[in-house]
C-alpha cells in the first residue's frame, strides 16, 4: 500500500519535473514476483490519482519507452542481451552457489566478524572451462556484478555532496536471478538509461547501493544520472515513524477527511524547505519554489498537528457548499466507509476510544438531513467551519444542529442544568420567540436581548449563568459556536422543543 515515504518520493519528482519542464515517469518495478500484488499496483494508481500527482509516461498512459512494467520488459527481451554484454566486458559473471552454500558463507562471515555479503566466492575468478562444466551439469546460476577491488568509488549526491566507498567493502550484487528475472540493481539502472532518466530521487536507505549502481553505469559507458538521496521521515519526537505519529496508508488520510492539496502541501515540507518561512502554499507556489538544493540531509519530521492545521486552513478558505460537496464525495468513497466501519482505535491515555461506526453514522446524518433541510445543514457547516480541521470532524461538530435531541455531556448537565434559576430562564426563552420570518441576524439579536434581560432581572452581573445552561440544553456541550449564532440557526421551534425536555 502507498505510504507517506513513497508519496513524498512521488511528490518530489512531480514538483521537480514540473518546475524543470521535464517528464515525470511512472514505472512499475515488479521483478520480485513473490512480492508482487496486482491490488497494490491498483492502489498506487488510485492513490496518486486522488492526491493529484500526474505522470507523463507510464503503464496506464503509455509513452515512447513502453512497456513500463519491468516484468513485461523482461519478457520483451530487454535485459538479457545487456547482461550478456556486461559479462563480455568483464563486469559480471555467473555464480553457481546453492542456497545452502550461501548460508554457510554468511554464517562464517558473522562468526568471524567479517563484512557480510558475496565478495567473490568460488566463481568470481572461475575459468571459462569451470563455468561451462557447471552449466553442462545443469547447475542453476545467477549473474553477479563484478565490483572492482582496491579502488575508491565516488558519487556526488545532491543532498550529501561527495560520498566515497572503499570498493573492498562493496559486495557483488545479483543482477539476474536464477529464473532469469533481473533484480532492482540491474533492471532499474538499465531502465533509467534507456528511458533517459536524468535524476534519481530516492530514499537514503539506497545510499549503500549507490556505488553498485554508479559502477553499473560506468561499466556500460553510460552517463550517470544525478543521484539525490532524500532523508528519512521520523515522528515529531524524532523516533522512527509509526502509526502512533499519524503515519498510515495514504488513502486513510482521505478517509479521515484530509484534502489532497493539504496533504501534498504537508508532505512537501517534510525534509524540504522553500528557503523561507512559508508553510501554506498553493501548487503553483510549490512548483515554483521546488529546488533540489532545498532538500535537507537531516531527517524530516512528521508533525500530524501541522497537517491538521494546513487542512483546517484550507477548510476555512472554502464555501459551505464546497465543504458539503467534499463530505458527500467522501461518503461515496468505498475505502472511506470500509476504513471507519473496521476502525480499531489506539487511544492515548485519558482519551475516550473512537468508535468508527459512530463517526460514519454522524457523517451519514449530514447527507440525510441535507435532503430534508439543505439550508439548516449549510448554516451548520458555516457556523462550525472556523473550528474544524478535517471533513470527518464536521460529523460530530454539526450533529447537535441536526438531531431532535443532542447527546448530553453528563458533567455539564450536572453543573449547569441543576441550578435553581434554570427553569425560569428556559421558560422565558420559550415564552419570547422572535417574530416570524426575521433574517438570521435579527433572530440572533432577539435572543441576545432576551437573555440579557433575564440576567438583569435576576441580578446576574455577567451572562455566564444564563449562557452556559442554555448552551448545554441546546447542544449537549459547554463549547462550540457563539450561543446566539447557533440559536439563530436552530430557530424557535427547535429551541422550544429542546428546552421543553428540561422544563
CATH number of the domain to which 291 belongs: 3.40.50.620
- CA pseudo-torsion sign 209, 215, 221, 223: positive
Does residue 295 sit in the same domain as residue 351?
A: no
What cell was used for 496?
Answer: 422550544
Which among 179, 198, 230 is the end of a domain? 230
- What was the pLDDT predicted at 102? 93
- What was the pLDDT predicted at 247? 66
Residue 125 is part of which domain span?
79-230
Mean pLDDT of 115-135: 93
Q: What span, in angstroms and rounded, lies between the C-alpha atoms of 204 and 232?
A: 7
- What was the pLDDT predicted at 403? 96
Phi (first) and psi of residue 154, to 5 degrees? -130, 135
Query: How, if at all, do strands 300-302 and 233-235 pair?
Result: parallel
Q: What span, in angstroms and rounded, lies between the C-alpha atoms of 263 and 250?
A: 9
Which among 253, 285, 317 is the end of a domain? 317
Phi (first) and psi of residue 217, to 5 degrees? -60, -45
- What was the pLDDT predicted at 182? 97
Query: Is position 84 within any domain?
Result: yes
Q: What span, in angstroms and rounded, lies between the C-alpha atoms of 429 and 495?
A: 9
pLDDT digits (tens, 9 = 90+) for 275-299: 999 999 999 999 999 999 999 999 9
pLDDT digits (tens, 9 = 90+) for 188-239: 999 999 999 999 999 999 999 999 999 999 999 999 999 999 999 998 888 8
Mean pLDDT of 434-447: 95
Closest listed residue to residue 56, CA positions, set 84, 4, 21, 6: 21
As a three-state string, the secondary structure of 334-350 is HHHHHHHHCCCCCCCCC
Does residue 332 sit in the same domain as residue 220?
A: no
Does residue 251 sit in the same domain as residue 222?
A: no
Catalytic residue ranges? 243
Does residue 86 sit in the same domain as residue 15?
A: no
Does residue 393 sit in the same domain as residue 428?
A: no
Percent of the chain exceeding pLDDT 90 equals: 89
* DSSP assigned state of 278: -
Q: What span, in angstroms and rounded, lies between the C-alpha atoms of 117 and 318?
A: 56
pLDDT digits (tens, 9 = 90+) for 306-327: 999 999 999 999 999 999 999 9
pLDDT digits (tens, 9 = 90+) for 57-92: 999 999 999 999 999 999 999 999 999 999 999 999
Does residue 97 sit in the same domain as residue 48?
A: no
Mean pLDDT of 87-99: 96
- What was the pLDDT predicted at 490? 96
- What was the pLDDT predicted at 36? 85
How many other C-beta atoms lie within 10 A of the C-beta of residue 406? 17
Mean pLDDT of 99-106: 93
| Cβ–Cβ under 8 Å, residues 127 and 141 | no
Query: Is position 379 within any domain?
Result: yes
- Beta carbons within 8 Å of 478's beta carbon, 6+ residues apart: 409, 412, 416, 468, 471, 472
Q: What span, in angstroms and rounded, lies between the C-alpha atoms of 398 and 203?
A: 42
Phi (first) and psi of residue 427, to 5 degrees? -65, -40
| Cβ–Cβ under 8 Å, residues 394 and 327 | yes
Percent of the chain exceeding pLDDT 70 equals: 99
pLDDT digits (tens, 9 = 90+) for 331-352: 999 999 999 999 988 776 777 8
- What was the pLDDT predicted at 375? 96
Does residue 279 sit in the same domain as residue 364?
A: no
Residue with cell 568509488: 153
Mean pLDDT of 367-384: 97
Query: Is position 72 within any domain?
Result: no
What cell was used for 343?
Answer: 476502525
Does residue 117 sit in the same domain as residue 157?
A: yes
Q: What span, in angstroms and rounded, lies between the C-alpha atoms of 167 and 122?
A: 19
Does residue 333 sit in the same domain as residue 361?
A: yes
Predicted confidence band of residue 242 (pLDDT cuts 50, 70, 90): confident
Which among 230, 257, 292 is the end of a domain? 230
- What was the pLDDT predicted at 239? 86
Question: What mean pLDDT value characterizes the chain?
Answer: 95
Does residue 236 sit in the same domain as residue 313?
A: yes
- What was the pLDDT predicted at 345? 82
- What was the pLDDT predicted at 137? 96
- Beta carbons within 8 Å of 408's beta carbon, 6+ residues apart: 472, 476
Does residue 128 sit in the same domain as residue 222?
A: yes
Domain count, the chain: 4
pLDDT digits (tens, 9 = 90+) for 400-410: 999 999 999 99
pTM of the model: 0.91
Flag whether pLDDT at 364 surpasses 80.
yes
* Alpha helix stretches (DSSP H) within 206-355: 210-220, 250-255, 260-268, 283-289, 304-315, 320-331, 334-341
Q: Rg of the chain's alpha carbons, rounded to an integer?
A: 32
Predicted confidence band of residue 478 (pLDDT cuts 50, 70, 90): very high
What cell was used for 100?
Answer: 545452502
SS3 (DSSP) at 170: coil
- What was the pLDDT predicted at 351? 77
Does residue 348 sit in the same domain as residue 305?
A: no
What cell was used for 186?
Answer: 540491474
Amino acid at each position: 500500500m502507498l505510504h507517506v515515504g513513497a508519496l513524498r518520493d512521488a511528490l518530489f519528482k512531480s514538483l521537480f519535473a514540473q518546475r524543470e519542464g521535464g517528464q515525470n515517469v511512472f514505472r512499475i518495478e515488479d521483478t520480485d514476483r513473490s512480492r508482487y500484488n496486482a491490488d497494490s499496483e491498483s492502489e498506487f494508481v488510485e492513490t496518486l490519482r486522488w492526491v493529484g500527482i500526474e505522470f507523463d509516461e507510464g503503464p496506464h498512459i503509455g509513452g515512447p519507452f513502453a512497456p513500463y512494467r519491468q516484468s513485461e520488459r523482461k519478457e520483451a527481451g530487454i535485459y538479457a542481451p545487456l547482461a550478456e554484454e556486461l559479462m563480455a566486458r568483464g563486469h559480471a559473471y555467473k555464480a553457481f552457489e546453492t542456497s545452502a552454500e550461501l548460508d554457510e558463507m554468511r554464517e562464517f562471515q558473522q562468526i568471524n566478524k567479517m563484512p557480510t555479503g558475496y565478495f567473490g566466492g568460488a566463481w568470481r575468478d572461475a575459468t571459462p572451462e569451470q563455468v561451462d562444466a557447471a552449466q553442462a551439469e545443469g547447475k542453476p546460476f545467477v549473474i553477479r556484478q563484478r565490483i572492482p577491488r582496491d579502488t575508491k568509488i565516488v558519487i556526488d549526491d545532491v543532498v550529501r555532496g561527495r560520498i566515497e566507498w572503499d570498493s573492498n567493502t562493496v559486495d557483488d550484487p545479483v543482477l539476474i536471478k536464477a529464473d532469469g528475472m533481473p533484480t532492482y540493481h540491474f533492471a532499474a539502472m538499465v531502465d533509467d538509461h534507456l528511458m533517459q532518466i536524468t535524476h534519481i530521487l530516492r530514499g537514503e536507505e539506497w545510499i549503500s547501493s549507490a556505488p553498485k549502481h554508479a559502477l553499473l553505469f560506468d561499466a556500460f559507458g553510460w552517463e550517470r544520472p544525478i543521484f539525490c538521496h532524500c532523508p528519512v521521515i521520523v515522528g515529531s519526537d524524532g523516533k522512527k515513524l509509526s502509526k502512533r505519529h499519524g503515519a498510515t496508508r495514504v488513502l486513510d488520510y482521505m478517509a479521515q477527511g484530509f484534502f489532497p492539496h493539504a496533504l501534498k502541501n504537508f508532505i512537501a515540507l517534510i525534509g524540504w524547505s522553500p528557503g523561507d518561512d512559508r508553510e501554506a502554499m498553493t501548487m503553483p507556489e510549490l512548483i515554483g519554489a521546488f529546488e533540489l538544493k532545498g532538500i535537507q540531509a537531516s531527517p524530516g519530521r512528521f508533525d500530524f498537528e501541522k497537517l491538521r492545521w494546513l487542512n483546517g486552513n484550507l477548510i476555512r478558505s472554502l464555501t459551505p457548499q464546497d465543504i458539503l460537496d467534499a463530505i458527500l464525495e467522501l461518503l461515496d468513497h468505498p475505502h472511506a466507509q470500509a476504513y471507519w466501519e473496521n476502525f480499531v482505535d489506539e487511544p492515548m491515555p485519558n482519551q475516550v476510544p473512537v468508535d468508527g461506526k459512530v463517526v460514519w453514522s454522524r457523517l451519514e446524518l449530514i447527507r440525510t438531513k441535507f435532503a430534508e433541510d439543505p439550508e439548516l445543514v449549510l448554516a451548520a457547516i458555516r457556523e462550525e467551519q472556523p473550528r474544524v480541521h478535517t471533513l470527518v470532524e464536521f460529523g460530530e461538530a454539526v450533529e447537535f444542529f441536526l438531531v431532535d435531541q443532542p447527546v448530553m455531556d453528563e458533567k455539564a448537565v450536572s453543573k449547569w442544568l441543576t441550578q435553581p434559576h434554570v427553569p425560569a430562564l428556559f421558560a422565558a426563552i420559550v415564552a419570547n420567540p422572535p417574530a416570524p420570518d426575521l433574517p438570521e441576524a435579527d433572530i440572533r439579536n432577539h435572543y441576545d436581548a432576551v437573555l440579557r434581560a433575564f440576567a438583569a432581572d435576576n441580578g446576574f452581573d455577567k451572562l455566564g449563568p444564563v449562557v452556559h445552561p442554555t448552551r448545554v440544553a441546546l447542544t449537549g456541550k459547554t463549547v462550540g459556536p457563539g450561543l446566539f449564532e447557533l440559536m439563530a440557526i436552530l430557530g424557535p421551534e427547535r429551541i422550544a422543543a429542546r428546552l421543553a425536555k428540561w422544563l
